[in-house]
Amino acid sequence: MDLLEYQGKQLFARHDVPVPAGKPARDVEDAVAAADEVGYPCAIKAQVQIGGRGKLGGIKIANDRDEAQEHARAILGMDIRGLTVHELWIEGASQIASEYYASVVFDRSAKAPLVMLSTKGGMDIEQVADEDPDAIAHLHVDPLLGFQDFHGRRLAFEAGIDDDVVRPVAAMLAKLYEVFASEEATLVEVNPLIITPEREVRALDAKVTLDGNALYRHGQNALLRDLSAEDPQEVMAAERGLTYVKLDGDIGILANGAGLSMSTLDVVAEAGGTPANFLDAGGGSRADAITAAVEVILSDAKVKAVLFNIFGGITRCDEVARGLIEAFARIQPQVPFVVRLDGTNGEEGRQLLSEARLPGVHTEVTMDDAAAKVVELALGAGG
Amino acid sequence: MDLLEYQGKQLFARHDVPVPAGKPARDVEDAVAAADEVGYPCAIKAQVQIGGRGKLGGIKIANDRDEAQEHARAILGMDIRGLTVHELWIEGASQIASEYYASVVFDRSAKAPLVMLSTKGGMDIEQVADEDPDAIAHLHVDPLLGFQDFHGRRLAFEAGIDDDVVRPVAAMLAKLYEVFASEEATLVEVNPLIITPEREVRALDAKVTLDGNALYRHGQNALLRDLSAEDPQEVMAAERGLTYVKLDGDIGILANGAGLSMSTLDVVAEAGGTPANFLDAGGGSRADAITAAVEVILSDAKVKAVLFNIFGGITRCDEVARGLIEAFARIQPQVPFVVRLDGTNGEEGRQLLSEARLPGVHTEVTMDDAAAKVVELALGAGG
Amino acid sequence: MSILIDAETRLCTSGITGREGTFHSLRNRDYGTQVVAGVTPGKGGQDVEGIPVFNTFHDAVEKEGANTAMVFVPPRFAADSILEAEDAGIELIICITEGIPAHDELRVYNTLKKNGRARLIGPNCPGILSPGKASVGIIPAMFFGEGNVGVVSRSGTLTYQIGYVLAQSGFGNSSIVGIGGDPVPGTDFIDVLAMFQEDPETELIVMCGEIGGDAEERAAEFISASVTKPVIGYIAGFTAPPGKTMGHAGAIVSGSSGGAQAKADALQACGVTVGKTPTQVAEAAASLLRV
Amino acid sequence: MSILIDAETRLCTSGITGREGTFHSLRNRDYGTQVVAGVTPGKGGQDVEGIPVFNTFHDAVEKEGANTAMVFVPPRFAADSILEAEDAGIELIICITEGIPAHDELRVYNTLKKNGRARLIGPNCPGILSPGKASVGIIPAMFFGEGNVGVVSRSGTLTYQIGYVLAQSGFGNSSIVGIGGDPVPGTDFIDVLAMFQEDPETELIVMCGEIGGDAEERAAEFISASVTKPVIGYIAGFTAPPGKTMGHAGAIVSGSSGGAQAKADALQACGVTVGKTPTQVAEAAASLLRV
């Protein structure tokens, strides 16, 4: 779960990571009140889960109330790389002597957290990594031991930050690691980490990704989820225990298991079609999950045909068939379906479907044939 | 640092270990007020850092105010195995369905914490260990991993506690481990851990030893130290950075390093003397530490002669000599001293002493000769 | 021959009294696996259709000689169950559970690695099938026969799909190993490739990867250096747009590495035949084995 | 020959710019030890009488090839310094610092054991002296000459005392190793006994124990099983009353085990000659070596 900047900063504050004082706002009036409270000059910052908003006009400095109103009005509702700004964060403008970059990420290859520090803050760090990799000091932390003081010192000395801030920056890294470990984050990134003219260290931005699987242990964090900032269909799917990712095409797809689901997209693409979505009905798909999945897929108006590709392991094909029958009873789909059922209870599932004689439902035996058929149907519908 | 029962229980309460509600008291009036507040029946418990007080009359149940007053009066000031009771703990009397034993100890051999659970609570656990070792379930915890849920379950099942309290007792063990690890204890013991008739789990006693070396990280715990319950000479020594243990004999002993100090006691004993104390002046004894040490040693009126046995490593013998000269200037000891100085700057030290011509100070070259001499002097003084 | 599980496997299921735990334990037993015990704390002394249930893995090991664990408990209890199995001396732990917190996986992985006593397969994996010998997990065993193709895969259903296509082409399997799609799998492609390389029955290896991470790239290097048997690769996720999470926590495309094409290229550069669809994998297997 | 340190030792002192750190580093250098670097965070680039100071152990290893660390920092920084030295690739770490929290020692010990890269001597120890070759720590080297007696001890000053008595009786030393008296020593008697057993120069081993713990009892078993060279034991603390702490955190007599007599008995039962005073140790050494 990606947090908005201000949510990340509130999390930081709980772990004594210094952040500028600020307030969130959801409309212009609140934003102006917040700016008055925070004081001028202040920064009006779009809260969206995507980087690069500064260059796109999503962050502006207000020197007085009029400017605060003007900027809040301009930023609220603006589109930043496909995301609409629903929320602002207003914080006191910081004076900056130096900008650093700091992060803790979950490194899958090393199976350990990776901590990074660079003096090239405020920039696109991937670009820094490409062009000047030595400018990023990094090390892995033994997760059984945790972050030690020497880790912080070593990063600070290797990154070549100013001598007088080695200790506070090292201490900041320890706190960011604490956020990472104790909040069960998979990413904690601060860019820029600033040094003020008074030589204070402060997190000017916060990018935090929490592990959704661990939220049950962090009740306070679970409340941070901002459904309005997420794709409504993806939210609908997630509420029903499905993983749904919207894509650009016109062939709705349901499969079980992430690997088979991705493979199904690939095979449909190979056959000349364009998938409308990725939908993993999960390992043990039951009838009601299948019904929900059909609803989610058809909520995308672009869908012209739907492919069900099920190979049963835990999933039982008869349950999938029942779910499909139930879905048809409830929502009478107007687009053709191609259904391929195989694996556990595959025969029972195919038998149920055949008996139900659902309108517009075609069955196929192989994945390749099913893909070919659904592409043909979608082209026919679109043509 | 050994905590009194009630200090341990207050620590427990901070970690959500359930304990009976209670109040401390230092005089009869406070004790009665505390009993009134806690309610009757209540337990009036002597607070001393030693076990077995129950059998010696240090714990009594008061059913009303008169009894509370009577018991408080009886227990305050009583002597329990050489310790005077200065403080009471008054807590609500608990009803007991079962008594268990639980502890977490620092196991030096295994270099890991050892957690124990037994249904033979309320008894001397060393006796249980001797007579019925299978009655104590125990396991080591990997300190890098920490206490896991399965540790608690396994101990609970192996100890054979009642089925219905397996979960709460396992959870209690996890909390006791948390006390051990997060407070940096070397011992956390609960005897008895009780099950009430309502099937609630509760720590009826608390024996906690904190690591004195780690107190700087636990400011709240450092305040718990009860100097009035400790030997005044040992406190005086500790304040001066010395490790002093009072013994029964008449030969005052100062050496540097725990091993050499103990060896000095042994050699004096071999020579027929009885040491009055153990005093380790530490690794880097300076003049002022030596002066303080002489004061501590001589504060014991039984001392008839004093042996200084110094072999210099970090300690420099000239500093020891200076300290001794300084001590003589300040306090004019009335008992003879035998001084053996060797090692770093030994010659300079001996030279300084020889020039100072301190009254009653004999120098010897070997440890054996020094021991023989001091025994001779003590016998002479005593005879 | 087979790898990891066979007729000597003595399985103990954690969470055996749950719906899925019971269902799959019995299926595994029906297949011929020695399912000697189950663990459900508080239900020690009961049995599940004749399989004795214990309170702890320690009891299951002591009383029934269990040497393999299958973990089927909900995600919040899974890490603890894996650690308990290892502590009890189980040498092979197969964790089916999906949705375990990533930091739990990190802790478990590093603890098992430190102690060096047990191998973990998964979590979030379908298990292992050694056709004709033993099945541990949820792989629908009826589709697979004995043979000489070893399969290792990050994905469950994709494994069945590919195994099924191979079976329809007449190939049987030495073992099928699902290593799972989670961020911190207990066992990597490399570990399983090394086992197949050593296994005399295995003549061809099929490796199914997917986008995210660099396990396939590292496997490619390992194949180039240490695997002499023919390997066919398959990568799912060519159609996945960058930056989108496709179900498995693992399936995240980050930057230029971790993408399906990069993985396919890495494998091909190391001499691995890469099929673009499951059907192509079967065709490649056919042509390689008939040489 | 000697054990642990010799002419190849390249020492880096952590805390070199402190009073004691400077004093003993220079003494060690005066003795002939190659003191190649020091570490004090924030003082990188300075030097201590020609010994370059670095900000991190990593720099000291990279730039000066340090292979041995001496830790002289205050107790609250010592665990971190040991872990840093190990992380930097130092293989032998000698920690002089006294008063390190017990849980820090537990964490450090178990981490070093897990990683298997470095040996820790101490903490709370006087260091190691290999007469004529190198001295690391605070042992007053002038009293000891080259020879064939290996000494291992839990106590600092007691070690000097016994070594001195031996020297006065004409015995020199292969190496003198102080393992320290703390609850969790990085290196035990057994480890050092094994090294002396393998060291061709060592013909006799003197082992100085003290009350508390069971390290001497375990050493006795090891000697019985694996040490063929003669061993003389000494135990301090016969006069210590039970239940009193005698300075070293280790010196606690608990129950019947851990007492001086029990330890002496255990050693004697395993064929070790036990002296009751340092002088008796020297006499025993004399009679054994003259046989």
Closest CA–CA distance from residue A204 to any residue of chain D (Å): 26
A312, C140: Cβ pair inside 8 Å?
A: yes
Q: In A89-183, where does DSSP find H-type helix? A: 125-131, 149-159, 166-182
Mean pLDDT of B338-358: 90
Q: C231-236 and C273-275 as β-strands: parallel, antiparallel, unpaired?
A: parallel
Taking the CA of residue C58 and the nearest CA in chain B, the distance in Å comes to 8
- CA D241 → CA B98, B270, B276, D204, D251, distances in Å? 36, 16, 12, 32, 11
Contact residues on chain A for D111, CB-CB shorter than 8 A: 142, 144-145
Query: Could you count the other beta carbons within 10 Å of the beta carbon of residue D249?
Result: 26
Sorted by where each starts, the structural domains of chain A and their CATH numbers stand as 21-92 (3.30.1490.20), 98-222 (3.30.470.20), 232-382 (3.40.50.261)
Q: For residue B78, with 0-12 CB atoms within 10 Å meaning exposed, 13-18 middle and 19 or more buried, which class applies?
A: middle
- Measure CB to CB from residue B368 to each of D107, D251, D279 and give the nearest one: D279
- Asked if A144's CB is within 8 angstroms of C114's CB, the reply is yes
* pLDDT greater than 90 at residue B226: no
Q: Where in chain C is the domain with CATH 3.40.50.720?
A: 10-121
Of B266, B284, B343, the CB nearest to D140: B343
List of residues 6+ apart from D288 with CB closer than 8 A: D204, D230, D232, D273
Burial of A131 by CB count in 10 Å (0-12 exposed, 13-18 middle, 19+ buried)? Answer: exposed
Give the number of other CB atoms < 10 A from CB of residue A110: 10
- The reply to whether A223 touches chain B by the CB within 8 Å rule is no
First to last CA, chain D: 23
User: How many other β-carbons are positioned within 10 Å of the β-carbon of residue B130?
Assistant: 11
- Closest C-alpha among B42, D150, A235 to residue A243: A235
Long-range contacts of A149-152, Cβ-Cβ distance < 8 Å, separation of 24 or more: A149/A174, A149/D77, A149/D80, A150/D56, A150/D57, A150/D80, A150/D81, A150/D83, A150/D84, A150/D87, A151/A115, A151/A177
Q: Is C81 in Cβ contact with B157 (below 8 Å)?
A: no
The pTM for the full model equals 0.92
**Is there a contact between C83 and B163 if contact means CB atoms under 8 Å apart?**
no
What is the rounded average pLDDT of the residues B241-265?
89
Q: D15: which 2 tokens?
A: 């805390």
Q: How confident is the model at residue D243 (pLDDT cuts 50, 70, 90)?
A: low
Is the model more confident about C123 or about A291? C123
Interface of C with A in 26-65 (CB under 8 A): none
Q: Which part of chain C has CATH 3.40.50.261?
A: 140-290
Instruction: Report whether pLDDT(C73) > 70.
Output: yes
Residue pairs spanning B and D at CB distance below 8 A = 174
**Minimal-distance CA residue of chain C relative to A144:** C107
Write out pLDDT tens, residues D105-161.
Answer: 999 999 999 999 999 999 999 999 999 999 999 998 888 999 999 999 998 888 888
- Res B331: pLDDT: 84
Q: Which residues of C touch A314 (CB under 8 A)?
A: 20, 24, 138
Helix (H, G, I), strand (E, B) or coil at D65: coil
Answer whether A301 touches B (CB < 8 Å): no
Domain C140-290: CATH architecture, name and number where available:
3-Layer(aba) Sandwich (3.40)
Specify the pLDDT at position A284: 56
| Contact (CB<8Å) B166/C42 | yes
Q: CB–CB of A259 and C140 under 8 A?
A: no
**Domain at D10-121: CATH code:** 3.40.50.720
The pLDDT of residue A383: 45
Place of tokens 């059998």: B55
Write out residues 135-164 of B within 8 Å (CB-CB) of A. 144-145
- Looking at residue D248, what is its pLDDT? 47
Tokens representing residue B149 in the block: 């849920």
pLDDT digits (tens, 9 = 90+) for A93-108: 999 999 999 999 988 8
CA dist A303 → A299, A306, B283, C219 (Å): 9, 7, 81, 38
At A302 the pLDDT is 92
Mean pLDDT of C203-221: 92
Give the C-alpha separation, A322 to A5, whole Å.
Answer: 44
CA C216, C217, C222, C228 dihedral sign is: positive
B-chain residues within 8 Å CB-CB of D211? 262
pLDDT(A340) > 70: yes
Evaluate whether ipTM surpasses 0.95: no
Over residues A74-91, the pLDDT tens digits come to: 999 998 887 889 999 999
The residue of chain D with its CA nearest to that of B184 is D103
DSSP helix/strand/coil, A7? helix
Q: How many CB pairs under 8 A join A and D?
A: 33
Q: Which two tokens stand for residue A164?
A: 């007088």
Task: Name the packing angle between helices D278-290 and D156-168 (round to 10°).
Answer: 50
Chain A closest CA to D166's CA: distance in Å? 42
- pLDDT above 60: residue B148: yes
Of C105, C101, B16, nearest to A221 by C-alpha is: C101
User: Subunits with at least 3 CB pairs below 8 A relative to chain B?
Assistant: A, C, D
**Closest D-chain CA to A150:** D84
List own/partner pairs for A122-127 with CB under 8 A and 24 or more apart.
A122/A191, A122/A192, A124/A51, A124/A52, A125/A101, A125/A191, A126/C255
- H or E stretch at C99: none
Confidence check: pLDDT of C245 > 80: no
User: Which of B262, B265, B283 minimises the CB distance to D156?
Assistant: B283
Two tokens, residue C214: 């660099």
Angle at D122 between CA D117 and CA D126, to 5 degrees: 130
Side-by-side strand order, sheet with C134-137: C134-137, C127-130, C173-178, C146-153, C204-210, C231-236, C273-275
Q: Which of C25, C12, C111, C23 is nearest to C64 (CA)?
A: C12
Q: Which two tokens stand for residue A176?
A: 């960011």
| Chain A residue nearest residue B144, CA to CA | A144
Q: What is the pLDDT of residues A48-65, one digit of tens each?
A: 877 778 888 899 999 999
- Residue B327, judged by CB atoms within 10 A of its CB (0-12, 13-18, 19+), counts as buried
The two tokens of residue D275 are 């002296």
Write down which chains contact chain A via at least 3 CB pairs under 8 A. Answer: B, C, D
**Chain B: nearest CA to A141, how far in angstroms?**
14
Measured in angstroms, the CA of B343 and the nearest CA of chain D are apart by: 7
